[in-house]
Amino acid sequence: MAGQDDIEIKQYEGAAGGWGSMEGMAHVLPKEKLNAEALDALRRQNKPEGVMCVSCAWGKPAKPHVAEFCENGAKATAWELTTLRNTPDFFQAHSVGELQGWRDYDLEQAGRLTHPMKYDAASDKYVAVSWKEAFDAIGAKLKKLDAKKVVFYASGRASLETSYMYSLCARLYGSHNLPDSSNMCHETTSVGLSNAIGSPVATIQMDDYEHCDTIFCWGQNVGTNSPRMLHVLEKARKRGVEIVTFNPLKERGWEKFTNPQNPVQMTLGTSTQISTQYHQVKAGGDISAILGIAKIAIEADDEARSAGREAILDHHFIEQHTVRFEEFADYARKAKWDDIVRESGLTREAIEDAARIYLKSKAMIAVYGMGITQHRYGMDSLYMIVNLLLMRGHIGRPGAGPGPVRGHSNVQGQRTVGITEKPKLAPNARLKQLYDFNPPDWQGWDTVESCRHIIDGTCDGFIQLGGNFLRATPEHEKMVKGWEKIPLQVHIATKLNKSHLHPGEDCWLLPCLGRMERDMQASGPQAVTMEDSFSHIYGSRGKATPASHHLLSEPAIVAGIAKAALEPNENVPWDAWVDDYSLVRDAIEDTYPDKFSNFNDRMWQPGGFWKGNPAAHRKWETESGKAEFNAPRAMNAAGFDDKPGRFRLVTLRSNDQFNTTIYGYHDRFRGIHGTREVVMMNHADMTALGLFEGDMVSLASDADDQEDRVVDGLRIVPYDIPQGCLGGYYPELNVLIPIEHHALESHVPAGKSVPVTIRKSR
């Protein structure tokens, strides 16, 4: 099949970046048959006045490099600007039933969608329709449905302008079911950081990396998922910054980096060591690892103070700015080293090494990703990171603070402009004033709640602004059955994916412009805006020729649906907004005057403008008015007991994918080529079970609900991963995750420790 190369498992010795990244691009880019416009888009990528990369949410520097893009940014650009086209002829040739059997890769490799399409049950095919027909029919159907049972999902890529219009459309329609991909991702951050420090996002900005002396990182894979961050880490290392990494896997980006823009390194093949310490914590073991560090610090501080020496913790900060320190300190003092060592999977000496760096640091940044947020007790892991920062006053001064690395390029921004299912985060009073209606004030459905309704047949409509919800969510098999019963599905997308292939009664596929493409409207070419992981907001202007002249922009599609589905409201100028997006920005500014003052002027500021963050100024918008310490509720984040035969499965991204988009079959850094159907396993565990490299196995769910969930045909890859843990790829393994296996308060599916058993295939 296209894209499937020979299977090869071979350890990779190279650094992140370097010639390997060129090779990585060389495997993927030619398949997209690019033209000169794609190269122009790369040249302008992430630069002031340019186009902002559609890949990750890492910041865009005010003074960019000559090439401010990375291997995976180039793949994302090529994926969007491909010259391959998925036309109505393709859908005439392939029925939906047939396409269900295709791989994610092959579906998207069919190219960019070119025409609005409607599912025709009689022929089991998608057929081309006019936009008018699509909007009229969608509007008429929406009018018949119960708004409270209709979901408006957003995947994190669409601009601030589109997202504002989309969430307003949902609220005017009467739905508050506005889940975002963030509900599967950093929602643990949004909920946990809000509780603990009164801000849902990073308090640091990009230039804090120039002022820190220490970086701790938990559960983030920089080399693959935010490669441009490597430049910042390299510079930090050159200044002598200590970098301490906790990850069950040795991820190459946190080990070493060859800067492709450094001719000497490229010629000599040298690299910069990134982490000064690397600790292969057990999946979910971060709570205990951090507890160990905290215990050392607190006991050293007790001792220093009782001996009359200088304190080690920042007691001035703790007293002035925090609550519940003593409760937490007591918990840490009482914790037993045997438990800490067992639950973290690290030796006491390793934790002491990390503590030594922590105790020396005067300015520490805490980086983290999905390895923290996607666990049942993920919030407790996050609270432990915050505790560590608070003990020595590492929030609200230069070079210090939490630095969660977000996922999609505008996922944080979508929340900022109203895509939220939580009424307390919606600007309802302001919306009521501006648009003269009563916005829904009930708790809407998040991802898990939407899945529950889909599974039990009580979801009446599902609108997807980008994304691949059916593939990204847990409990895949039940979800497919439920998905097929949703009476109305509307998919706003650039490429075909599995979510589009299980239509219910009515199903529409509405193709849109990508961000890289020229967006011409009545007032001229349009620009859009987004927000990065540092709460910086900037403009982006696409210049490439659209993939098809039948495409509409995302704002135009949202307006088309809104006008067809809603009662007219003279206060909402849908047409004028589509004609000129600067008017949408004015509306955003009117809705959020604090964050978006002079929005249209400031959007082109090099490096973006900062939305601001009270916690960065030590203003704590929490319940207590202070930053809050929290003792953990469990010693590990997995949320299930260990027992013989039960493993913790970690679901991972390869270096050749963007979420459910599979660019290719090379996971270069992990040395896995030609297949994604693997289980990475510790040698000692293999020996204990009598398994050998290349053996074929099945994984089965080992959750307490005893449900049958199995994935067959997986190949054993011996891997440097802690005993008791297994690694494998998302989304293929989402079959194994129970819908109720999610982070407790934030409801993020717990894809980083899934209870499974393994057995050899017969």
Ligand X SMILES: Nc1nc2c(c(=O)[nH]1)N[C@H]1C(S)=C(S)[C@@H](COP(=O)(O)OP(=O)(O)OC[C@H]3O[C@@H](n4cnc5c(=O)[nH]c(N)nc54)[C@H](O)[C@@H]3O)O[C@H]1N2
Chain residues in the site for ligand X (CB under 6 A): 55-56, 72, 108, 155-158, 181, 184-185, 218-221, 224-226, 246-249, 251, 281, 283-284, 286, 369-371, 374, 407-408, 465-469, 472, 492-495, 497, 512, 514-515, 554, 650-653, 657-661, 730, 734, 737, 751-752
Gyration radius (Cα) of the chain, Å: 25
Is position 185 an interface residue for Mo ion (rule: CB under 5 A)? yes
| C-alpha distance across the termini of the chain, in Å | 25
Helix axis angle, 187-197 to 378-391, nearest 10°: 40
Q: Is 556 helix (H, G, I), strand (E, B) or coil?
A: helix
DSSP per-residue letters across 364-380: EEEEE-HHHHSSTTHHH
Q: Is 378 in the site for Mo ion (CB under 5 A)?
A: no
With b for 16 or more beta-carbon neighbours within 10 A and e for fewer, the 569-601 pattern comes to: eeebebeebbbbbebbbebbbebbeebbeebbe
Question: What is the distance of C-alpha 740 from the center of its chain?
Answer: 20
Cβ proximity to ligand X: between 167 and 322 the closer is 167
Task: Report the nearest approach of ligand X to the CB of residue 430 (Å).
Answer: 27
52 binds, among Mo ion, ligand X, none (CB under 5 to 8 A by kind): none
Place of tokens 């991802």: 447
Query: Choosing among Mo ion, ligand X, none, which partner's interface includes residue 377 (Cβ < 5 to 8 Å by kind)?
Result: none
User: Nearest approach, Cβ of 160 to ligand X (angstroms)?
Assistant: 14
Least separation in angstroms between residue 735's CB and Mo ion is 20
- Give the binding range for Mo ion (CB under 5 A) out of 77-85, 102-110, 179-187, 256-264: 179-187
Phi and psi dihedrals of 371, rounded to 5? Answer: -65, -15
Q: Which does 528 bind (CB under 5 to 8 A by kind): ligand X, Mo ion, none?
A: none
Residue nearest to Mo ion (CB): 407
Pick the closer one to ligand X by CB: 323 or 411. Answer: 411
Among positions 61, 407, 542, 731, the unique one binding Mo ion when judged by CB under 5 A: 407
Alpha carbons within 13 angstroms on the beta-carbon side of residue 198 total 21
DSSP letter, residue 102: S
The site partner of 726 among ligand X, Mo ion, none (C-beta below 5 to 8 Å per kind) is: none
Nearest to Mo ion of 407, 503 (CB atom): 407
Q: Give least dist CB 224 to Mo ion, A.
A: 13
335 binds Mo ion (CB under 5 A): no
Closest to Mo ion by CB, 265 or 410: 410
Comparison of 596 and 730: residue with beta carbon closer to ligand X: 730
For residue 217, the partner it binds in Mo ion, ligand X, none, with Cβ less than 5 to 8 A by kind, is none
Between 617 and 633, CB nearer to ligand X: 633
CB contact set of 261 (below 8 Å; sequence gap of 6+)? 65, 66, 67, 231
Alpha carbon distance 122, 25 (integer Å): 42
Q: Minimal distance in Å, beta carbon 181 to Mo ion?
A: 5
440 interacts with, out of ligand X, Mo ion, none, CB within 5 to 8 A per kind: none
Q: Please state, in angstroms and as integers, the Cα–Cα distance from residue 415 to each residue in 167, 535, 655, following that order.
A: 10, 11, 27
Residue type, 122: A
Binding range to Mo ion, per CB under 5 A, among 251-259, 403-411, 414-422, 642-650: 403-411
Minimum distance, C-beta of residue 552 to ligand X, in the bound complex (Å): 11
Q: What is the largest CA-CA distance in the chain?
A: 84
Within 13 Å of residue 706, how many CA atoms lie on the same side as its CB? 0
> Is the CB of 405 or the CB of 686 nearer to ligand X?
405
Residue 114 contact partner, candidates Mo ion, ligand X, none, CB within 5 to 8 A by sort of partner: none
Q: Which two tokens stand for residue 185?
A: 């991702």
Q: What whole-number distance in Å separates Cα of residue 354 and Cα of residue 173?
A: 53
Q: Nearer Cβ to ligand X, position 407 or 444?
A: 407
Residues that bind Mo ion (CB under 5 A): 185, 407
